[in-house]
Structure 1
């Protein structure tokens, strides 16, 4: 016997243990990934704040740095007094600036106070007329005072490490290895490079990207995971219940009983 048209349909739920367990695991995994991305975003936010604080500090004499920790204080601003070793430069190949091929140039800098050496990242210069000809660059001579930011070069490279023991200066390299450079220089070398400030003597064309940990990207990923979890729950609700028919029945009932 058919139900009277004025009686709304009852809401029903069809429970399936196997499906419920599978969906529960999937939703838990998606939510976990979302909260993990939120945690990553918070870590990146703190890291970005630390970087911004260091970049806004006044330069500290490099001799006063605390290097007792395992990793050097990257992005710290430092002051160096000494002189460039004008015949000890490195040209990193395949560096592009505004679509133009060239080199990133590094020059050794000897400190006046300790005779230790710092590898100075001076920026970008255009390529020479041919691949076999390095460009001429001007390097300040004599005592100078410069400022810059500590940068730790990547330890991994897609290139096979070049043997530089027998190479003539200036060196043309694919990857900067401070450890290998130290073997060619005649004094102890700091385990990082210093990127020159734009107003420091010896600067070429700064080609360094602005430091950004992209915390907002992790937040965006988190909302994507949460959205997928919500979509899965919504699909489960639709497939496991008569919610569509129930809503239609409730609408028809309300229209017939104004």
Structure 2
């Protein structure tokens, strides 16, 4: 079926398909631009805190992700000896390992237990081996970055308890799930440990996400495909009309 506008024939089905394809491609392009802006804001938030002085955690009211992502804070207290949480499938320099998390009890009574990420630990050769890890002892003053973990609704946060030590392997750092499992009141954020430098494990807290430049590159690809669809459609319509004109002239 074709539409005929003056002397120009336009194939109806091909037009609908082309418009739908262009619409989808353009939408994907703008989605990538939105993702690029989100990632850029994430990196900006992190960079803005690199030269900041640590704020006492107890002085921050209504701690929330919009205003306090990567805020540099200090808190005094001590780690609870158990549980030792091993956040699974963390990769550093192409090596699979765990992030070590512990419950930190602040001295300030108004603060709940803080979930602290102490850094990255390489995994043993065998999956069945859950490493034995000992958390720092005694009174400590920590400086750390506030981080709000994303929650993957498709991930089942199974708790795998080691049989010969106090370590527990987990799939995501979900404060609500941890609070239920260990019957504790836990902060809704994580603290990414910065100092003391002599405790914990290897640490690199720069956001481990796709760079904004890649999202811009993908957006360019989607927009280019949309333009290509339009060009192909226009060329096809021109050829169709030329062919129709030749057929009319031979009749």
Asked if TM exceeds 0.5, the reply is yes
* Contact 1:146–1:200 (Cα < 8 Å) also in 2: no
Aligned Cα RMSD in Å?
A: 3.7
* Contact 1:94–1:103 (Cα < 8 Å) also in 2: yes
Aligned twin of 1:49: 44
Give, in whole Å, the separation in 2 of the partners of 1:237 and 1:82.
Answer: 69
Counterparts in 2 of 1:230 and 1:199: CA distance versus 1, 3 Å: same
Larger relative strand fraction: 2
Aligned twin of 1:80: 75
* Contact 1:198–1:206 (Cα < 8 Å) also in 2: no
Aligned twin of 2:222: 225
Q: Deviations over 1:147-180 (max 9, x none)?
A: 111223343363453398xx99723222344334
**Shift, 1:76, TM fit:** 1.8
Equivalent of residue 152 in structure 1, options 136, 148, 151: 148
Counterparts in 2 of 1:98 and 1:229: CA distance versus 1, 3 Å: closer
Aligned twin of 2:112: 116
Larger RCO (CA under 8 A, 6+ residues apart): 1
* Contact 1:78–1:149 (Cα < 8 Å) also in 2: yes
Unaligned 5+ runs, structure 2: 1-6, 243-251
Equivalent of residue 9 in structure 2, options 3, 8, 15: 15
Equivalent of residue 32 in structure 2, options 30, 37, 46: 37
Equivalent of residue 203 in structure 1, options 193, 200, 205: 200
Instruction: Give the number of the structure whose alpha-carbon radius of gyration is greater.
Output: 1
Give, in whole Å, the separation in 2 of the partners of 1:192 and 1:24.
Answer: 45
Equivalent of residue 162 in structure 1, options 148, 154, 159: 159
Give, in whole Å, the separation in 2 of the partners of 1:179 and 1:223.
Answer: 39
TM-score (norm 2): 0.69
- Count of aligned positions: 228
Give, in whole Å, the separation in 2 of the partners of 1:171 and 1:181.
Answer: 14
**Shift, 1:44, TM fit:** 3.8
Counterparts in 2 of 1:89 and 1:42: CA distance versus 1, 3 Å: closer
Which stretch of the first structure deviates more once superposed, 96-105 or 212-221? 96-105
State yes or no: 1:215 paired with 2:209: no
Which stretch of the first structure deviates more once superposed, 61-70 or 75-84? 61-70
TM-score (norm 1): 0.68
Unaligned 5+ runs, structure 1: 1-12, 246-258
